Structure 1
């Protein structure tokens, strides 16, 4: 435990511990954000203690086994065997780390309002073990003010004071699962703190982990940065989704339009349409700001409109699918549909907020039956919104299987799918990702949606 007579002395000592890597780093939440961060910190030379409420997951990690496709078991095993990384479900050990990084989910409720229960429960688990000289950093995406308005009061209820006894900061995660070009250590990290000492200490830690830190004036500013990044994407995806519908009515291929437009060397950035939004950020984060803005009596009309457009995309896709099946001479009610891809994006085993789940729900509500193929997700796991789909298994993908279905719906454009096989043997192909065209297959019977 770090000792000192004044807070500035404690800050200096903790900063020095970050610099010479003698500080112990604790990470709460060992998922798609926490595991890469833990491995990065261990590789940088820190001793890392990871916390998770999922005991089987903890055991799996300590055995050197990965549960995430793009993170190898070798990487976890190396970190564990080096003695630099240990996972635990024992939250009484939260007093051990000098820095605790919170990487837990921040979903929406069924009413599309922020659900901070994971963050609050984590804070309440930390509070009884909070000690003088610790750094606490929230990485979970949330609305501006969460660190100051939610975490700070919980921690200060112990009698310790932020800026006097402990340091509090916000540094949003910027993970992009499955992206081969950018990993945790090569992505710049935004850092905001509750006061200059907190910022300095947090910056001292992250500057040892990532290629570059981007200090900002406050934790609320850092929270706003993360929302801005994802709202930017959500709004632009909504724009191209709307253009897709308009251009389809005109007989124009929106993907061809975008590919031509992106040749302009300035003033244009390509975004691509899809069957709906998925992942842990884009479908959720804009609504955190929308909810918070109501406190200031401000209507976020642009953001809400984008949300409405994006959430309607699965309905548009199902209508296109039904039309395609009907035109083939088969009634949609009673038809058999094979969905290619259940992950929210290509080449990952991540199903968080996947639009494929909504697509299955809508298709089956109209009387058709859906099976799926996904090389990365052999079984649909339990989800909060679609519990009834849990346990369904991926089918085979071969000529006989394809021919047995009335239509194939491409919902995720995994690279390791033989799209020529699909087009050659499926009765009808509806492509929401332009996967067939990208694979060089003539359009023919492929219907874009």
Structure 2
């Protein structure tokens, strides 16, 4: 009798269950790196791929470039040969499961830019073996997995669902979140076929400690990710617009939100700010807006929310200028200290940060400008490079105004309260400020 040949899905499933599968993570940014290290933590060997050789060099030295990913975790994984960072994509031939975690930005006119996904898919097609599972995690418009990635992978004469497997599972990484990480955030997954769904669901059930929710196909999973962040964008726009109305009516918007939050049903609190930042909220709704336009649907609510959030940096600068005038100071003669560059507290990520837009508008006003951010050393606005400075009593005393754009918890707000002439707080850290020189958004 001849030896029975094991089916690809059975072979791959066994490798997952025994943790003998080698995992490849393409893209070692804020999504890919934490995922790669969590997979290592679950007993798998991981090869991490990235085109940025500076990142690869740092990782090989155990040096993290993400604020909430410690050097020790990376160094341990590398030294124990459980994690191999590389820019050599030919090593994809050695992996059993490939997860794509590359950026998905937009062009200047808001059109989706999926060139990183296309490049990753081409590299995989040129180097992968049979019995491989490929999962796209990058946020994208519905149809990308089936209409873009699948045709590229099928160029290698593999049959998806038989020789190789393809699925979509949106990333849900929230940098700086101390309560939810890769390991305990539920996953959604949709496969091209039943076998694709089966093996991808098994993989995630093996590497995370919470639920894996299966949907009927990749388009559902792609669309639900856009819904998550468009929901946030629209509700943030609502309170940002409300803050502008409340300001004109001399009403404390923060107290309004606090009062509304006492209702135990039918209300979810969102808070205003200088705008929205990060990769998700400023970008993902544009993917949904574009997708609707391709099908003849004008998503006017999404478009309006985008405009409201984009207007907030101008609103912040206008308010600041008015407060300075009330102190008999022209903004072009003022020394301004800005607190925070990153788009949210306690991280070093300033992608799409509204602080950058506020700083750019302050530059246009030709005021003196100093920026404090304990998580960021340098950043660029337009053609200008900024170096952040340390918070000192002397710096605050010399300033005509302090503007809080990011509420990092490591900032000594009591020092600001004691020595600032004027404070404009866009993040409602008001519990530390109890005097007439303090203004909040």
TM-score for both structures, normalised by structure 2: 0.96
**Alpha-carbon contact 1:15-1:200 (below 8 Å) kept:** no
Q: CA deviation at 1:364?
A: 1.2
SS for the counterpart of 1:333 is helix
1:64-143 aligned at under 5 Å gives the runs: 64-143=62-141
Q: CA deviation at 1:53?
A: 1.0
User: Distance in 1 between the 2:267 and 2:248 partners?
Assistant: 24
Q: CA deviation at 1:163?
A: 2.1
Aligned: 1:362 with 2:357: no
Give the counterpart of 2:157 among 148, 156, 159: 159
Count of paired positions: 438
User: Distance in 1 between the 2:246 and 2:219 partners?
Assistant: 40
User: Distance in 1 between the 2:105 and 2:297 partners?
Assistant: 22
User: Distance in 2 between the 1:351 and 1:366 partners?
Assistant: 22
Q: CA deviation at 1:17?
A: 1.1
1:12-411 aligned at under 5 Å gives the runs: 12-210=10-208, 211-380=210-379, 386-390=381-385, 392-411=386-405
Q: CA deviation at 1:248?
A: 1.2
**Alpha-carbon contact 1:40-1:209 (below 8 Å) kept:** yes
Q: CA deviation at 1:157?
A: 2.1
Q: What whole-Å deviation, never above 9, does each CA across 1:351-407 have from its counterpart, x for those lacking one?
A: 111111111111111222322000110111x6xxx45234x1111211110122221
Moved more, 158-167 or 32-41: 158-167
Q: CA deviation at 1:5?
A: 5.5
SS for the counterpart of 1:351 is coil
Give the counterpart of 1:416 among 405, 410, 421: 410
Give the counterpart of 2:434 among 430, 442, 446: 442
In structure 2, the residue matched to 1:433 is 427
User: Distance in 2 between the 1:327 and 1:42 partners?
Assistant: 57
Q: What whole-Å deviation, never above 9, does each CA across 1:67-92 have from its counterpart, x for those lacking one?
A: 11111111112222222111111111
TM-score for both structures, normalised by structure 1: 0.95
User: Distance in 2 between the 1:244 and 1:125 partners?
Assistant: 48
SS for the counterpart of 1:87 is strand
User: Distance in 1 between the 2:178 and 2:431 partners?
Assistant: 19
Q: CA deviation at 1:159?
A: 2.3
The structure 1 segments of at least 4 consecutive aligned residues displaced by more than 3 Å after TM superposition are 3-6
Q: CA deviation at 1:4?
A: 8.8
| Alpha-carbon spacing, 1:198–1:387, altered in 2? closer, same or farther (3 Å) | farther
SS for the counterpart of 2:156 is coil
SS for the counterpart of 1:396 is coil
**Alpha-carbon contact 2:9-2:162 (below 8 Å) kept:** no
Q: What whole-Å deviation, never above 9, does each CA across 1:304-363 have from its counterpart, x for those lacking one?
A: 111111111111111101111122111112322111000100111111111111111111
SS for the counterpart of 1:92 is helix
User: Distance in 1 between the 2:148 and 2:399 partners?
Assistant: 51
| Alpha-carbon spacing, 1:51–1:438, altered in 2? closer, same or farther (3 Å) | farther
User: Distance in 2 between the 1:259 and 1:365 partners?
Assistant: 35
| Alpha-carbon spacing, 1:443–1:126, altered in 2? closer, same or farther (3 Å) | farther
SS for the counterpart of 1:69 is coil
User: Distance in 1 between the 2:159 and 2:279 partners?
Assistant: 32
- Give ranges in structure 2 of 5+ residues lacking alignment: none
**Alpha-carbon contact 1:4-1:10 (below 8 Å) kept:** no
SS for the counterpart of 2:98 is strand
- Give ranges in structure 1 of 5+ residues lacking alignment: none
